[in-house]
Amino acid sequence: MAIKELASTKVLTELMKRIDQEEWKAGDKLPSLAALAMELQVGVSTVREALRIMENKGYLLIEHGRGMFVRSPNYWQQDRPLDSPLDLTRLPVGDLFSLLEFRGVLEPEMAAMAAERGSPGQIRNIKEAASKMINDLAAGEDYFASDISFHDYIAEACSNEVMATVMKGISDLLLESRRKTTRISGSPERAAHFHMLIALAIEQRNAPLAREMMKAHLQDVKQDSMKLKGSAEA
């Protein structure tokens, strides 16, 4: 199976080049996510993933409400490749069923952990991401960013750095799978409905319900993937 170079890797290379060539120097503020996405002609979620990798490696300081700033070279960690802390961004793309199997093992427990451990702010972010996906769909706008943000916020609310890092590392694979299943009529709307049910369960601190709602959501995605496979073989 051919390996696809993921969009976030290309964006990461371009952003790092600007730092290496001192187009952006220590202390400089980067353009906004939306501005970078427009300039590089990619989705906001793709830029966000590249920036998170750079933040994890010490190249950027991201302050909510203030912006993104280049850090001094003293903070840079160059002991591992920049592609990803767990080297997950170069996994083969397109194996939806392997991805769903992995998600089915991990994400229901993450939803339960988020209900038990999430801070009020983290839980608010989860619910707002669920609401934004519903609103984006109603307005006919790109909903992928709010979809992925929903799952990212759940990972963060688990207070488990390994889980959060794994989910960040496969975000491009998740985006690719969403682009495929969106071809199934009603799939995005059902996903948004499940997201809100999961968010409400987490908000109520109901871990068993959050787990079951996430299982139901992923089962629905699996059924859509089966339909997609069937139509491709027909």
In this prediction, residue 1 carries a pLDDT of: 32
pLDDT tens for 191-221 read: 999 999 999 999 999 999 999 999 999 999 8
Tokens matching residue 58: 């010490």
Q: Which residues have a Cβ under 8 Å from the Cβ of 24 and sit 6 or more positions away?
A: 18, 30, 70
With contact defined as beta carbons under 8 Å apart, do 157 and 114 qualify? yes
63 DSSP 8-state letter: E
In this prediction, residue 232 carries a pLDDT of: 52
In this prediction, residue 4 carries a pLDDT of: 35
Specify the pTM.
0.62
- Structural domains in the chain plus CATH codes: 7-75 (1.10.10.10), 96-233 (1.20.120.530)
Alpha-carbon distance values, 86 to 78, 83, 213 (Å): 14, 9, 28
pLDDT tens for 117-163 read: 999 999 999 999 999 999 989 988 878 778 888 998 899 899 888 88
Average pLDDT over residues 175-197: 85
| Selection from 74, 88, 158 nearest residue 122 by Cα | 158
Start-to-end CA distance of the chain, whole Å, equals 22
